[in-house]
A and B are shown apart, each in its own frame.
Chain A
Amino acid sequence: KQEVTQIPAALSVPEGENLVLNCSFTDSAIYNLQWFRQDPGKGLTSLLLIQSSQREQTSGRLNASLDKSSGRSTLYIAASQPGDSATYLCAVGNSGNTPLVFGKGTRLSVIA
């Protein structure tokens, strides 16, 4: 059974810092991995989708990497801003038509 773990559970950084959020998964036979952002009381916003054949994806100040063999992904946020404060969720799609398996998220606070 696939399990997804995110470390740390919470993180507080001063504005302007670069930071890394970690995601690990137990079954490396994934089809893709998706990073989401969730603001309090809101739904999920998709940030980046990495296919199993890819090593990384970039969007603006965000860069997500994938190392399937070691069961790890990282989300790098450059030059953090207070508006980046949210919970970041990692989710993996296993082979075949199966729903996403989510980690519990990392709650990020960027202090001005």
Chain B
Amino acid sequence: GAGVSQSPSNKVTEKGKDVELRCDPISGHTALYWYRQRLGQGLEFLIYFQGNSAPDKSGLPSDRFSAERTGESVSTLTIQRTQQEDSAVYLCASSLTGTTSSEQYFGPGTRLTVT
């Protein structure tokens, strides 16, 4: 079946603008994760959704970052008033049950460049 998809694949924006990144998880996967990968760095956790539970937002770096998920489907990550340090690849992953015994499947990522 289809894997995790993300759009856009690339986004260039000016400093101070807002951006929205989209993730479509694998159908039936109840858990959805957003990570960020800055150049030369490891992946950083941003936010995690599990079913209808309140999301775990503990990884969001500032209040300019927010995310929503509609049921157990698409999620959008919004960055307001973008800064140059927000430039990174934003990766989305989904897993079947949300427990850590479940394998996480990653999308191709959105490369965000803030000029």
Contact = CB atoms under 8 A, between A and B. Distances in A.
Contacts of A34: 103-104
Given A42-B108, A43-B106, A99-B59, A93 B43 contact: no
A98 B105 CA distance: 15
A93 B100 contact: yes
Interface residues of B, number: 27
A100 B45 contact: yes
Interface residues of A, number: 28
Nearest to B106: A44
Contact of A44 (B41, B45, B91, B101): B91
A97 B50 contact: yes
Interface in A85-111: 89, 91, 93-105
A99 B101 contact: no
A58 B111 CA distance: 32
Q: Which residue, of B42, B56, B91, B103, has the highest number of chain A Cβ atoms within 10 A?
A: B42
Interface of B: 4, 6, 31, 33, 35, 41-43, 45, 48, 50, 56, 59, 91, 93, 98-101, 103-109, 111
